[in-house]
Amino acid sequence: MMALTRTIGWISAVAAVLLLAACGGGGSPGDVHPGAETPIVPGEPNAFLLFPNPQVQADGSLQTDTPAYAQAYYAAIDPNNTKDTLAKWRAANGFDSGTGTQVTSVFGDSRDLGFGRRLTARQNPDGTLAFYVENYLIKTGADYAFSPINLEAAIVRDPNALVYVAGIEFSPGPSGGASFAKFFNFNVETGVRENTVDIDGRGDKVMPGPCIACHGGRADALTPPDASGNPRFNLLLNAVSGARGDVMGQLPPFEVASFQFSTDPGYTRADQEPLLKAINRMVLCSYPLPASSTFPEDACRRKASSGEWQGTAAALIKAAYGGDGLPNPDYAEPAAPSAWASAGQSSLYDAVEAPACRGCHQMRGTGMQSDLDFETFTKFQSFADRTFATVVNRGDMPLAKLIYDTFHASSGEGALADFLVGQGFPARGAGGTALRPGRPIADPGPDRVVRQGATQLSAANSLFADTYSWSIVSGPNGATLTNANTVQPTFNATTDGTYVLSVVASNASAQSAPTSLTLVVNNALTPDPSAIRFSDIKAALQDGNECQGCHAPGSPLHPPVAFTSYDRDGDGAVTPTDDAWFYAEVRSRINFAEIVASALLQKSSGHHHFGGLGPGFDTSLPPGQPGRAKYDLFLNWALNGAPQ
Amino acid sequence: MTSAAQDTGAGAAVGPGSVSGAPASSRSGSTLPFLDRLQIELGYTYDDNVTLGRAPDEILWDQSVGFNASASRALPIDDHVRLVVTGLLTGQKFDNYNGLSNLLGGLEAELQYRQSGAFDAITFAAFARGWLNNYVSHLRDGSQYSVGVSARGAVTDRIELSGELAWNQRHAQSDVWDLSDWSARVNVDYSLGSHGTLYLTGEYQRGDVVSDGFATLVNVSLAQVFVLDDAFPGKDLFAYRSSARTWLSTVGYNLPLGQRSSIDVSWRRIQSTPTAQLGFDVQGSLRYVDNQYSVVWLMLF
């Protein structure tokens, strides 16, 4: 009995030790699990690779990020699905056919997307171009960032690290005409064309949005369905191709100085330079030429139309290779353009524009209005308000997560803050620290004129906030505010006059500064804001020749949209379908994510608009003044959801 | 276990101890009360690949001194069955990479069955072992345990054969050292009488191993998890866990120095081959090889 008791005692002791031995672990902070997806931190900016105006629909969906958008896009550029697999697409574009010029280069995209990239480019004898790139990434659960391992994976073509295969083709549309860029994404395993792509590990986004957001493309809303009932892709009037599906996207230069290269023989920078120069020559051929040139590298370029992009990025390619004639064999990062240097802003260019803006912005602008290309300091300066909004407040610029992270970790953040402060924008906090997106910002919407009675307000455009506190700061007596601690309170005034309200937005950790909203109550306002319909907007757009004088089909100014009523669908008559299409085009110019940034309001009030300030759109006047009556009309329509 | 120096595996021996070829005479009897056996081992080991590195520039050597103390008490249950409880304490001090230095303590319980006292009767056993680990490299700190079965018996008056099948698991501060594996071991002791014992051990393991290497595509592709290894400061080496087939073979000689002490010299070779299939061609071999040379002085009390 004693022996048994002792045995049980020993067994218990051993069991206790074994139990202890089974404990522990849990992982250390430095552990990295390959294959883990990038975590998305709640409350931090996460609108990367989306257009600033993603076409918010009445149900809250982002039309540019819905399957219908990709389906309409591919139906427009490949109606018979002759390029719905990588193999078919490659064959259609002549890859490995032994004709034309075909080049493959492998490099690390250390600045923009972080991939190891294997790019194959070809130029066919007929001048059409096609590029496809295998993108390799070793996922480590961290933010997408470049690692030399990604480059290694591209060199050995590690199938486990291949995240997507993108194709861009520069060729005529299904009905012929001028070549334009078309964007494809293919499944890495099956080769089947896909409607979505996950470029930055932050989830699938719908094609072609993530590509063309940076490649100079537009994100116009879909137009009414065709005979099969499917919405059609927008047709841009300034597209030289005249093809639906021509989003005005371009082929960006390959900025070799921002790449990383292997030390493996055959993949060094010296090995890759001539290949990339050949590819940049091809890219240059896709750029329209705004003025005649006798240089051989320009011989393949067609004449630019005033309504389209003017091949602005050609200047970068030429400068990087030594100027016209491309005399230098190797790419070298050019010095700041003279228009920046002469303004004394070379350092701002080097710290901000070149690394964080230029890649996408040089693909933008048209011959009629090119402020957005930031080719001069003056143009950059003219966008200071939007730069403050998008970079410091919203966090949707820089557009790609990797560039965003790099920018905020660089001296560029401080340089931009200094610039913005100099332009009158509070880009630094109380302690002098450069402000970053993620703090709550209250946005009650623009100042406006309303009628007496109930007016629903909204702070839904506020940023990084989930609770709200409204108050009436000043105004005639008798006004009330109900549901003042909600995102959509109701303001009620029974007396005409000017009222100032304030809203503070908060999240769990911070509170915004109060933001003011001025409401001018005028009971004689006509029409009632809640009764404004598209017919009112159309009437304003077609009032005289102020808008439709330029915005008309066949206009020599080649605007992207016409404000006249015409046979949009080409069925020989102007019908309600044409009017629905017209409505979709105009609504497309409202940014419901940030009403004040809507093109419909910005352009008409003289911001970055070839036509300048339109009569009735003078926003320097207070709401309700006759000189901004049309602006008030458009604004109230937009604030009411732009009903048809 | 695949590298005694890194103690990257989950089970079995630590430090220079657990010598198989200890003379039979030293296996029984104790001069201490309450204990049937107290064994102290002091040793020196040279390890030519403490990182268990694959590429030449990933391979680092080191040498260590160590001790291993084990105290056993046998508790008879009936005429054929007894429980042997052993307390274990072991430590190693490395010369170049102190992060590998460690102190481990644990317990082992082995339930033994022997049908008779006949010379050729086989002893069957089921065992469980548990350790608590403390390293200078805190990423490795944690615990480990093994459970298994074994059999041991004399084939002739000179040859003794033993075998063991075990499941080993380890938990650590870093997931890299959260390991599990199966192991099968066979040992042959060949007695040279008063001239000592030659022994040969072969072991096969299937499961997790830890290696150190640079952040290359091959290593990251093999890795289930990796971490910057604090045991090799300034080397930019990452410890990574992968699945592998591992062969361990040991050849040793034990020379008695009297009734209660002996000297043991051994060579242990570890060869580990990852089981993961990479999707690309790799220059060179994916195999890791480690050699450990040990001299141990054993004392029995």
Q: What is the DSSP string of A471-525?
A: EEEESSTT-EEESTTSSS-EEEESS-EEEEEEEEEE-SS-BPPPEEEEEEE-TT-
Q: Which two structure tokens, joined as six digits, stand for A495?
A: 């007396």
Place of tokens 């220079």: B16
A595 phi and psi angles, rounded to 5 deg: -50, -45
At B109, which helix (H) or strand (E)?
Answer: strand B102-114
Q: Give the minimum alpha-carbon distance from A298 to chain B in angstroms, rounded to a whole number.
A: 41
- Say which of A19, A25, A153 has its CB closest to residue B178: A25
> Does residue B12 fall inside a structural domain?
no
- Say which of B132, B176, B223 has its CB closest to residue A21: B132
- How far the first Cα of chain B sits from its last, in Å, is 29
Q: Give the minimum alpha-carbon distance from A324 to chain B in angstroms, rounded to a whole number.
A: 41
What's the CA gap between A123 and A93, in Å, rounded?
9
Q: Do A34 and B220 touch (CB under 8 A)?
A: yes
B109 neighbourhood in chain A, CB within 8 Å: 10-11, 14
Please, is B28 exposed, middle or buried when counting C-beta atoms within 10 Å of its C-beta (0-12, 13-18, 19+)? exposed
Place of tokens 């290894």: B229
CB A182 within 8 A of CB A196: no
Q: Which of A38, A46, A41 is nearest to A399 (CA)?
A: A46
DSSP3 helix / strand / coil % (chain A, rounded to 5) = 30, 15, 55
Q: Give the minimum alpha-carbon distance from A108 to chain B in angstroms, rounded to a whole number.
A: 14
What's the CA gap between A236 and A213, in Å, rounded?
16
Q: Do B171 and A23 touch (CB under 8 A)?
A: yes
What's the CA gap between A383 and B185, in Å, rounded?
74
At residue A10, the pLDDT reads 54
Ranges of chain A whose pLDDT falls below 70? 1-26
At residue A471, the pLDDT reads 98
ipTM of the modeled complex: 0.87
Interface of B with A in 64-103 (CB under 8 A): 73, 75-77, 83, 85
Q: Do A149 and B279 touch (CB under 8 A)?
A: no
What's the CA gap between B250 and B256, in Å, rounded?
19
> Does residue B146 fall inside a structural domain?
no
Which DSSP symbol is given to A333?
P
CATH code assigned to A448-521: 2.60.40.10
Domain that holds residue B191: 24-71+93-99+157-300
Say yes or no: B227 contacts chain A, CB-CB below 8 A. Answer: yes
A607 phi and psi angles, rounded to 5 deg: -95, 115
Q: Give the minimum alpha-carbon distance from A401 to chain B in angstroms, rounded to a whole number.
A: 23
> Does residue B13 fall inside a structural domain?
no
Q: Which of B42, B14, B15 is nearest to B300 (CA)?
A: B42
What's the CA gap between A402 and A398, in Å, rounded?
9
Pick the residue of B219, B220, B229 with the most A CBs within 10 A to test the interface with A by mutation: B220
Total domains in chain B come to 1
Q: Where in chain A is the domain with CATH 2.60.40.10?
A: 448-521
Q: Which of A508, A545, A501, A530 is nearest to A637 (CA)?
A: A530
Q: Do B143 and A14 touch (CB under 8 A)?
A: no
Q: What is the pTM of this model?
A: 0.89
Q: Which residues 6+ apart lie within 8 Å of A206 measured at CB? A: A64, A65, A66, A67, A69, A70, A195, A196
What's the CA gap between A72 and A551, in Å, rounded?
25
Q: Give the minimum alpha-carbon distance from B173 to chain A in angstroms, rounded to a whole number.
A: 5
pLDDT tens for chain B, 301 residues long, are: 334 445 544 333 333 334 444 443 334 455 667 788 899 999 999 999 999 999 999 999 999 999 999 999 999 999 999 999 999 999 999 999 999 999 999 999 999 999 988 888 999 999 999 999 999 999 999 999 999 999 999 999 999 999 999 999 999 999 999 999 999 999 999 999 999 999 999 999 999 999 999 999 999 999 999 999 999 999 999 999 999 999 999 999 999 998 899 999 999 999 999 999 899 998 888 999 999 999 999 999 8
